[in-house]
Chain A
């Protein structure tokens, strides 16, 4: 084996790695935002909108990510939606991830005791304030493991973007492999690269969960109101 092909193409590989990171983070951000919106609508909208969202969720869950990407990237122009590979990849990841995140958020919302919400209503908080101030802060702690887990899964879907020619790590390295016939070396590098990404993500997740469980037992955060200028009574 000869790993010098890797050092020779270090620049491309580096930019591919960055592209992977960027699409991953961008996709997760889009999916989180869309998922939260879907979950909130599901909780508050009427039966028709809820039914439509349910259909959307079921269809996305039942079809392969690759087919969704093809629909978006190759099928898009048929209804006037011409996207660059990069844009199609980001939107694809966002759509695909949104339904899974929405389910996670939904379970999170329903796990907050109804009484806490009624108390907030009786104190005159608006439903948006209740969502933002009472429900989300508490449920984020509860659903954190599930969020981290799915973020990792979404990361492992990013190589699929190479199939619609997004110049991310897999695209770059398989390209280098085809050019130099150093398939094994480049594929090994790919394995190592994604393994490192997955490991990093799960470590980050474990760290976050530890912080969060401390937060739940309420030892780590000193209340903001302890600031000296505010303690004067």
Chain B
């Protein structure tokens, strides 16, 4: 059932899998953030068409399970003649879905900003994009930082689904090791422990930031 020697031997493989998980999630998060800001400004736009468009994006990418989105991208891109590496497809899938969630979090952050600030900035002659990048975004980011970190945890967990399209991230690595050694419990437990280490650290960090933020506001 357990073979410690084999576990130590395969530790480099597992860690490499974890590394893939982390950078795929990080890339997905960054791209998702850009998408999130875009969709969020659509949803906060004054034009009904754009608001509807943003709303549609959010409900589609939050409504359809991530696994289906990943399979879709994985199978659809080749059909469209786009021969992209598997990791690009995987990261794009994470980013598209993550963007929908981030846009809602950011929208919450933007809505808490007092409207007077934007008016003041406008009076000072700042343009729309400057107002977004220099006034609104930093504040929204600060206000939503704990929620954003929480989203990172969700993303890391969601990235396990990439295993279904064959990329050797942590879950897939564990799966391969489990299948070849028949030590199923050992390697899935090892994967679970690694996920725990990363995510519980992130959760602790989020909790600390949240407390600090609340203390700062009080």
Binding site for B on A (CB under 8 A): 58-59, 61-68, 70-71, 74-75, 77-79, 156-160, 162-163, 170, 174, 177, 183-184, 187, 190-191, 194-195, 198-199
Contact A64 B178 (CB under 8 A): no
Q: CA–CA, A58 to B64, complex, Å?
A: 27
- Of the four ranges (under 10, 10 to 19, 20 to 34, 35 or more), the interface on chain B belongs to 35 or more
Contact B196 A63 (CB under 8 A): yes
A195 to B195, CA, bound (A): 29
B199 at interface (Cβ–Cβ under 8 A)?
Answer: yes
Chain B residue at minimum C-beta to C-beta distance from A70:
B188
Interchain CB contact under 8 A, B65 and A62? no
B192 interface hit (Cβ, 8 Å): yes
Query: Taking the complex as formed, is B147 at the interface, i.e. its CB lies under 8 A from any CB of chain A?
Result: no
> Which residues from chain B contact A61 at a C-beta distance below 8 Å?
199, 203
**B188: which of A71, A79, A157 is its contact (CB, 8 Å)?**
A71
Question: Closest Cβ of chain B: how far from A140's Cβ, in Å?
Answer: 25
Binds A, one of B32-40, B109-117, B126-134, B156-164: B156-164
Q: Closest residue of chain A to B68, judged by CB?
A: A190
B195 A62 Cβ-Cβ under 8 A? yes
Given A78-B184, A187-B75, check contact A62 B153 (CB 8 Å). Answer: yes
B6 at interface, CB cutoff 8 A: no
Q: Is B85 among interface residues, defined by CB-CB distance under 8 A?
A: no
Contacts of B157 in A (CB 8 A): 62-65
Q: How far is the CB of A75 from chain B (nearest CB, A)?
A: 4
Q: Does B63 contact A (CB under 8 A)?
A: yes
Q: Which of B79, B156, B159, B161 has the most CB of A within 10 A?
A: B161
Interchain CB contact under 8 A, A66 and B163: yes
Bound complex: CA of A75 vs CA of B66, how far in Å? 25
Q: Does B41 contact A (CB under 8 A)?
A: no
Distance to closest chain B CB from A193 (angstroms): 9
Known: A64-B160, A71-B185. A156 touches B196 (CB 8 A): no
How far is B161's CA from A65's CA once the two chains are assembled, in angstroms?
A: 9
Please name the residue on chain A nearest to B204 by beta carbon: A58
Whether B184 contacts A187 by the Cβ 8 Å rule is no
On whether A67 and B192 interact (CB within 8 A), knowing A62-B199, A78-B1, A199-B63, the answer reads yes
In the assembled complex, B11 has its CB within 8 A of some CB on chain A = no
Contacts known (A66-B171, A67-B174, A195-B63); A187 close to B185, Cβ less than 8 A: no
Q: Is B71 an interface residue (CB 8 A)?
A: yes
The answer to whether B188 and A75 touch across the interface, beta carbons within 8 angstroms, is: yes
- Given A66-B163, A162-B67, output 20 extra A-B contacts at Cβ < 8 Å: A59-B192, A61-B203, A62-B153, A62-B195, A62-B198, A62-B199, A62-B200, A64-B158, A66-B171, A68-B192, A70-B188, A71-B192, A78-B1, A79-B185, A160-B65, A163-B164, A174-B71, A184-B75, A187-B76, A199-B63
B205 to chain A, nearest CB (A): 13
Is the beta-carbon distance between B65 and A64 smaller than 8 angstroms? no
Q: Given B64, B75, B79, B195, which contacts A191 in the complex, CB threshold below 8 Å? A: B64
Q: List 15 A-B contacts (CB under 8 A).
A: A59-B192, A62-B196, A62-B198, A66-B160, A71-B188, A74-B188, A78-B1, A174-B71, A177-B75, A183-B76, A187-B68, A187-B72, A191-B68, A195-B63, A199-B63
In the assembly, what is the distance between CA of A65 and CA of B191, in Å? 12
> What separation, in Å, do the CA atoms of A61 and B174 have in the docked complex?
19
- For B178, the chain A residues whose CB sits under 8 A away are 70, 74
Contact call A74/B161, Cβ cutoff below 8 A: no
Contact of B189 among A75, A158, A184, A194 (CB under 8 A): A75
* A71-B188, A78-B185, A187-B75 known; A66-B161 Cβ under 8 A: yes
Question: Quick one: closest B residue to A190, CB to CB?
Answer: B68
CB distance from A155 to the nearest CB of B (A): 8
Task: Check B171 against A170 for contact (C-beta < 8 Å).
Answer: no
Contact B79 A183 (CB under 8 A): yes
Bound Cα distance from A198 to B164, whole angstroms: 22
Within 8 Å by CB of B195, from A67, A160, A190, lies A67
B71: A residues at CB distance < 8 A: 174, 187, 190
Nearest 8 pairs of A and B residues by beta carbon: A64-B160, A75-B185, A62-B199, A78-B185, A74-B184, A183-B75, A64-B157, A198-B63
